[in-house]
Amino acid sequence: MRYLKNVSTLKIDRKKCTGCGMCAVVCPHRVIKVAERKAWIIEPDLCMECGACAVNCRENAVSVKSGTGCAYGMILAKLKGSSEECECECG
Ligand code: SF4
Ligand code: SF4
């Protein structure tokens, strides 16, 4: 499921990133990839802003406003007449 384009609040501070890969492991939508010992946002529009990456980053290198993406996804689903179930476990 894609959310609205270019609205994700996800950010990675690569100066703090040590490339441990935990953010990529916990991301349910494969938004983040680790290459050259740094995390990269490769699919920002797939981010549902669940916050798992930020919670699991020991270096505090990830920031994301949790919850917004879920709301967008549910609104879009409603407008399209499809299921309004959010795919994450936020609610
Ligand atoms: S969890 Fe944090 S330190 Fe580890 S790769 Fe991701 S952004 Fe970098
Ligand atoms: S907020 Fe959730 S969906 Fe977005 S990159 Fe982080 S773990 Fe993936």
pLDDT values of the chain reduced to their tens digit, one per residue, 91 residues: 666 677 789 999 999 999 999 999 999 999 999 999 999 999 999 999 999 999 999 999 999 997 655 555 566 666 767 654 554 544 4
Decide if 54 contacts 9 (C-beta within 8 A): no
CA angle 2, 71, 74 (to 5 degrees): 65
pLDDT of amino acid 8: 86
Bridge partners for 41 per DSSP:
32
Ligand nearest to the CA of 67: 2
pTM: 0.77
Give the residue among 25, 9, 15 at the shortest CA–CA distance from 61: 15
Is residue 46 within 6 Å of ligand 1 at its C-beta? no
Domains of the chain listed by start with CATH number = 11-80 (3.30.70.20)
Cα 75 from chain centroid? 18
Instruction: Identify the residue whose C-alpha is closest to ligand 2 atom 4.
Output: 47
Q: How far apart are CA 24 and CA 14, in angstroms?
A: 14
